[in-house]
Amino acid sequence: MPTSDSLQQALKQYFGYDSFRAGQREIIEAHLAGRDTLAIMPTGGGKSICFQLPALIKTGITIVVSPLIALMQDQVTALKENGIGATFLNSSLSYRETQQRSQAILNGTIKLVYVAPERLFAEQFLEFLNIIKNSIGIAGFAIDEAHCVSEWGHDFRPEYRQLSRLRQIYPDVPVIGLTATATERVREDIAQQLQLQQPYIHIASFNRTNLYYEVVPKQGTEQSYINLLQQIKRSQGSGIVYCLSRKRVNEISDRLREDGIDAIPYHAGLTPKVREENQTRWIRDDVQIMVATIAFGMGINKPDVRFVIHYDLPKNIEGYYQESGRAGRDGEDSHCTLFMGYQDLETIKYLIAQKVDRHTNEPLEAEQRIAQQQLRQVVDYAEGAICRRTILLRYFGEGFAGECRNCDNCLTPKPMEDWTVESQKFLSCVARAKERFGAGHIIDILRGSLNKKILQHGHDQLSTHGIGKDRSLDEWRQLSRSLIHQGYLTPTTDGYAILKLNDRSWEVMRGQKNVLLPIEREAEPAIASEREQTPDRSVDVDILFERLRLLRKNLADEQEVPPYVIFSNATLNQMAERQPTTRKDFAKLSGVGDKKLEQYADDFMAIIRQHHEKYPPAETSEDDYADPKQKSVAPKSKISKASTQRETLAMYENGADIDEIARDRGLKPATVWTHLVQLIESGYAINCDRLVSPERQTVIYEAIEAIGGDSLRNLFDHLREEYTYDEIKIVRAIWQNEKEPL
C-alpha cells in the first residue's frame, strides 16, 4: 500500500494535480486496500480519478463499466492525453479493431479497459476476462454511473442488473461504484444490486459552491427572448440553453443565430449524424452555445461549460439539478439561470393532465399526482425568496444554513410587500367555500366570476364574491402559491388541488400575523454579470490568456480532440497569470503532469516568451504569481469587460487580418474595426501599420491636426474621400490618445 505522500506524487505525475479533492484520497485508499467502495459525488466532484489513480498503481487491469459510448471515448481520450494506457471495447468497433485492442490489452500496455455492460457478459468477453485474469490479473471493477442499476433512479438500464454476476465470478476483485445520484433509496439499491461487501461509502456534499443560481421572470415572448439574448451576450465561454420542445429549440437557435450568436440546435428530431456533428462542434469550441431539449447532456463531460440556461420551466428539481449541474465541472465560476414563466407552468400542467394509460386511455392518476408534486417543488424553488441553495440541497436531504452569497436571493434579496389584507380576503374565501376547492376556483370567486361552477355552488352569494377585482389573476395566483410556501395554507398532497386552512391561516385572519409577498425583480441580474468578469486581472494577462487559448484550440484541432483535453481553463488561467518560461516552472502548474509537460510545454512557453517581448514580466521571485497590477506596460484603463475585444486583439496580434478575424469569429468586418478602435481608445497600444499603412497614417494625422477630430464627416471630406471611415477612426483614436492621455 503506497504512503499518502506517494499517492500525492502519483496524482501530480499522471494528472498534474497538487492535492486531492474532498473524499478522493479516502476512496482511493479504501479501493487500494481491496475494499468494495461506493462513491457518491456531485457532477464535477472528481469521481474519475477515484478509480483511475488506483488502476495505475495496482498491477493488472481495471475494467470500467460505462453506459455510454460517448462517455467512454471521452475518458479514454483524456487518459491517453496524460500518457496513460487506456482503451474501450464496444459495439462501435469493427471486428478487426476489437482484435487489435484485445491484443494490446494482453501485451500489458493498457491499464484501463472501458466496456459497456452488455458486452461484459457476452460469452466471448467472459472468456477474454479469464485470460486477462490468468495472464495479467484484474485489478478491480469500476462501475461508472452506478445509479443505472436501480429502478428507482432516473436512468435505469436493465443491462446493469447483470452486474451482480461479477461478484459471483470474481468474488475477490474489489468493486467500486460511482454515481452523482443522491437519493437514499438509489444508494441502498446500488449497494445491494452490485452485491458490495461491507463497502466503504463516501457521500460528498451536493453543494456545488462554484455555481451561481438565479431565477429570472419571463415577461411575454418577445421580452423574454430579449432577456435571454442579453443574458447570453453578457456571458463568456460555452453554454447550454434548454428548451421544452423541439420546436422551441429550433426557433430559439435560429433567432439567436440571426442575432449574431454562435448557437446550434440539438434534439431527438434531428438525424443522428447531425446530432453528433453538432455535439462535436460544441464540445470542441467551434460553436459557443447549444440550444437543446433535455435529450442533450447525458454523458457529456465537457468541464468548461460556463452557463446553463433553462429557458423553459423544468419538470422536476432532480432533473434541474442534473441539467444545471453540467455547468462548471472544472470548479470555475459558472451560472445556472432559470426562466420562470407562468405560461410554461400551465403548459406543463396541461401535459400532466394528458397522461393516460396507453391501452385503456384511463388517466394515470398516481403518475399525474407525482408529476404535479414534482412540478410544485420546481415552483417552490423558482418563487422562493430564501437562498436557492438551501432549497435545492433540502431536496437532496442535505441541510444548508443559507446565506450562500452565490445566488440571486442571497445577493439581491427580493423586496417584500405587505399583502396582509389580500391574504385575509383569500383565506376567508377558502373558509366560506368550506375548504373544498382549489386556488383557481377561490380566485374566480374573489374576482367576481359568474361561471358555471360558481353558480352551481351558489358561490356568487358569498360575501367574498367579487371583493378581489382590484388584483389581477396572476397576482392572486402568486399570492396563493406564496401562502402555501409560507405555510399559511395547506394543499392536499396531490399537486395544487384542494386548499385547507391551518392554525397559521387563522392567525392571519385574526390580524395577528402580517403576510409579506416577495416582489419579482426586474430581469436584469446586475450582480450576475459582474461576477463573470475577472476585474483584478490586467488586460495583458487577458490577452495572453486569449493567445494561449488559440494555441490550445489549434493543437486540439490538429489532434481532433476537444480543447479541454489538452489543458483545462483553470490550467490556462494559471499559465496566463504565472507566465512560466522554464520547464521547471511550467511543471508546477496545476494540471500539468509528466506527459503534458513533455508534449506541450515548449509550444505554450513560446507564446509566453513572445508575449514578454511586448510586455516584459514584472520582477518576481521564482514562485510568485506575477502580480498583474505591477506590469509596466499595463494600459491605463481597464477593459476587462470587453472579452470580445480581447479575442479580436489576440487574433490580430497572432497575425490575422481583419477579414480573417471577422470570418473566424462570425462577425462583420466593421465590428472588428470597431473593436480595435475601442481598444486604442481605452489606452491600449496597438501596432496599426497592418491596418493603415504608415504613409496613410501620416496624411490622416496631419488632416486631424489641421481641422480637429470632432467631425468624422469633415475629415472624410477634407481627405477628398480617399480614406475610409475605418482608417480615419483608427488614426483619430491614436491621435486622441496622444493628445489627452487617460
Cell of 631: 506590469
- Which residue of 30, 180, 190, 387 would you call a contact of Zn ion, by CB under 5 A? 387
- Which residue of 71, 410, 572, 728 would you call a contact of Zn ion, by CB under 5 A? 410
Binding mask 313-352 for ligand ADP (x = CB under 6 A): ----------------xx----------------------
Does 300 contact ligand ADP by CB under 6 A?
Answer: no
Q: DSSP of 223-245, one letter per residue? A: HHHHHHHHHHHH--SEEEEE-SS
- The residue ranges of DSSP E strands in 204-319, in sequence order, are 211-217, 238-242, 263-266, 289-292, 305-310
Does 80 contact ligand ADP by CB under 6 A?
Answer: no
Binding mask 338-377 for Zn ion (x = CB under 5 A): ----------------------------------------
Shortest Cβ 176–ligand ADP spacing (Å): 13
Phi, psi angle pair for 67, to nearest 5°: -80, -20
Does 46 contact ligand ADP by CB under 6 A?
Answer: yes
Q: DSSP of 689-710, one letter per residue? A: TTTS-HHHHHHHHHHHHHH-SS
Q: Are 607 and 551 in contact (CB under 8 A)?
A: yes
In the DSSP assignment, the letter for residue 46 is: -
Report residue 78 CA to chain centroid gap.
Answer: 20
Cell of 266: 440539438
- Which residue of 27, 32, 40, 41 would you call a contact of ligand ADP, by CB under 6 A? 41
In the DSSP assignment, the letter for residue 462 is: S
Q: Which stretch binds Zn ion (CB under 5 A): 39-47, 400-408, 636-644, 668-676?
A: 400-408
Shortest Cβ 335–Zn ion spacing (Å): 14
Shortest Cβ 240–Zn ion spacing (Å): 22
Helix (H, G, I), strand (E, B) or coil at 376: helix
- Reported as half-sphere exposure (CB side, CA atoms, 13 A), residue 642 has a value of 23
With 0-12 / 13-18 / 19 or more C-beta atoms within 10 angstroms meaning exposed / middle / buried, residue 739 is exposed
Cell of 531: 461576477
In the complex with ligand ADP, the residue whose CB is nearer, 28 or 489, is 28
Q: What residues between 11 and 30 interact with ligand ADP by CB under 6 A?
A: 17, 20-21, 24
Does 181 contact ligand ADP by CB under 6 A?
Answer: no
Mention every residue, 6+ apart, whose C-beta is less than 8 A from residue 153.
147, 181, 186, 189
495 binds, among Zn ion, ligand ADP, none (CB under 5 to 8 A by kind): none
CA atoms of 160 and 65, how far apart (whole Å): 9
In the complex with Zn ion, the residue whose CB is nearer, 334 or 538, is 334
Does 47 contact ligand ADP by CB under 6 A?
Answer: yes
Instruction: Please give the C-alpha separations between residue 37 and each of 32, 167, 178, 517, in angstroms, as whole numbers.
Output: 10, 13, 8, 47
Does 648 contact ligand ADP by CB under 6 A?
Answer: no
Does 407 contact Zn ion by CB under 5 A?
Answer: yes
- Which residue of 148, 404, 544, 550 would you call a contact of Zn ion, by CB under 5 A? 404
Other residues' Cβ atoms within 10 Å of the Cβ of residue 175? 26
Shortest Cβ 570–Zn ion spacing (Å): 24
404 binds, among ligand ADP, Zn ion, none (CB under 5 to 8 A by kind): Zn ion
CA 188, 189, 192, 197 dihedral sign is negative
In the complex with Zn ion, the residue whose CB is nearer, 41 or 407, is 407
Shortest Cβ 404–Zn ion spacing (Å): 3
Q: Which stretch binds ligand ADP (CB under 6 A): 44-52, 361-369, 460-468, 575-583?
A: 44-52
> Sheet containing 211-217: which strands, arranged edge to edge?
211-217, 334-340, 305-310, 238-242, 289-292, 263-266
Does 213 contact ligand ADP by CB under 6 A?
Answer: no
45 binds, among Zn ion, ligand ADP, none (CB under 5 to 8 A by kind): ligand ADP
Does 82 contact ligand ADP by CB under 6 A?
Answer: no
40 binds, among ligand ADP, Zn ion, none (CB under 5 to 8 A by kind): none
Binding mask 536-575 for ligand ADP (x = CB under 6 A): --------------------------------x-------
CA atoms of 51 and 49, how far apart (whole Å): 5
600 binds, among ligand ADP, Zn ion, none (CB under 5 to 8 A by kind): none
Other residues' Cβ atoms within 10 Å of the Cβ of residue 632? 10
Does 303 contact ligand ADP by CB under 6 A?
Answer: yes
Name the residue among 177, 59, 74, 28 with its Cα closest to residue 117.
177
Shortest Cβ 570–ligand ADP spacing (Å): 7
Helices 317-324, 388-395: inter-axial angle, 10-degree rounding? 110
Positions that interact with ligand ADP (CB under 6 A): 17, 20-21, 24, 41, 43-49, 301, 303, 329-330, 568
Q: Which residues bind Zn ion (CB under 5 A)?
A: 387, 389, 404, 407, 410
